[in-house]
Structure 1
Amino acid sequence: MYNKQFPCCPYYMNQVAHLSFNANWRNTIQSFTAISGTITMIEDFYPTQDDESAGCYKLMSLESIERGPVNFVISPGTYFVDHEMVVAGDEVTGFFDANAPALLIYPPQYPAIVMAKNTENQNVTVDYFDYLLISSDGNLKLNIAESTEIILTNDQAFNRYPGNRNLIVVYWPATKSIPAQTTPYKIIVLC
């Protein structure tokens, strides 16, 4: 009656009926979450003990009105919109993958994928946009104009249609329709 393979489990477990562990079971599509706040501190972060990574990673602490204190790990791969240099006291928005595992510490700490310095006349959104260029939450539709700059994170031109991809969208105010519509002046494709 007892499972002889697992003495601590008194229930019979049919090994054939259960699926084996598959590393692809997680949701592989990134779902981006944004946190805005004021930078309170930027300091060196050491993800490993070797000297090769010394100075390459930063820990950016924010004070967010909605979430309180939050830390972002800034890696060499973190994209800064408009390649802006940020310092303590700046208002910024950090974007991270909401599906990625996170450390259960306080204050919460997230690996930043995109950072944007907040300015009055500029909005930044990071999301997956479908073939019709509608965001994953259905709240924003992009209208591409001839003046829209579409580039890669290395500032090289992207010559394909940007739909069905993760995009960084930099735009001015949008319409108040549902979904809101905007003609972005810059789209950065996250490949």
Structure 2
Amino acid sequence: MTNFQSFYGIVTMIEDFLIDQTAGKDGCYKLISVEDGNGSLVNFVVEPCTYFVNQEIVTAGDMVTGFYDADAPVPLIFPPQFRAIVIAKDSNFANVKVAHFNNELVSSDNTLKLNIAPYTQILLRNGQPFTKNPANRNLIVIYGPTTRSIPAQTTPYKIIVLC
């Protein structure tokens, strides 16, 4: 089970991140710097497999949330540098949660419970339908309003299964 954490802020810089020029990877990796408004800064390494919610293009000045594995090894540098698993551009119409959801579809941090409706899209990262039960998996959940209960409950618009 992945220990997903997030960092929210404004994109201050995007630049190419050199991995290995000789292996044909030049230009395939990016470094996105994000500042939270309180002076905290994080650099996200964006790989070809990093999932961008709704395939949105991110530019400097955008508000984003970067999700990463808090248990993955990271270099001891400042600002901290994390491998981005998911990047979500801020939206007034939808929220994004990346977490492991148990057999009752409650997130690992116990803050969100999913109530799947017939119209909820359940997809793989590549956009193809996921036909099994999404319980007990790492999920990207795109949702709107929630209840004020603990955990909050929602009927998601879309679920992306991270196989």
TM-score (norm. length: structure 2): 0.97
Task: Tell me whether 1:130 sits opposite 2:123 in the alignment.
Answer: no
Residue 120 of structure 1 and its aligned partner are, at CA, apart by 1.1
1:106 — aligned with what?
78
Residue identity over aligned pairs, in percent, reads 57
Residue 60 of structure 1 and its aligned partner are, at CA, apart by 0.4
AA aligned to 1:36 is: Y
Q: Deviations over 1:44-74 (max 9, x none)?
A: 0012242511000000011113561110000
2:153 — aligned with what?
181
AA aligned to 1:61 is: S
TM-score (norm. length: structure 1): 0.83
Structure 1: which 5+ residue stretches go unaligned?
1-28
Task: State the aligned residue count.
Answer: 163
1:45 — aligned with what?
17
Q: What is the aligned-residue RMSD (CA, Å)?
A: 1.0
SS class of match (2:6)? strand
SS class of match (1:168)? strand
2:66 — aligned with what?
94
CA distance in 2, matches of 1:95, 1:137: 14
1:26 — aligned with what?
none
CA distance in 2, matches of 1:126, 1:34: 9
2:87 — aligned with what?
115
Q: Is the 8 A contact 1:121 1:173 kept in 2?
A: no
Give the greater-gyration-radius structure (CA): 1
2:144 — aligned with what?
172
CA distance in 2, matches of 1:49, 1:154: 27
Relative to structure 1, the CA distance from residue 47 to residue 127 in structure 2 (aligned partners, 3 Å threshold; closer, same or farther) is same
SS class of match (1:145)? coil
Structure number having the greater strand percentage: 2
Moved over 4 A (4+): none
2:52 aligned residue (80, 85, 105): 80
CA distance in 2, matches of 1:177, 1:66: 29
Q: Deviations over 1:109-136 (max 9, x none)?
A: 0000000001112100000000100001
Higher relative contact order (CA 8 A, sep 6+): 2
Structure 2: which 5+ residue stretches go unaligned?
none
CA distance in 1, matches of 2:21, 2:36: 30
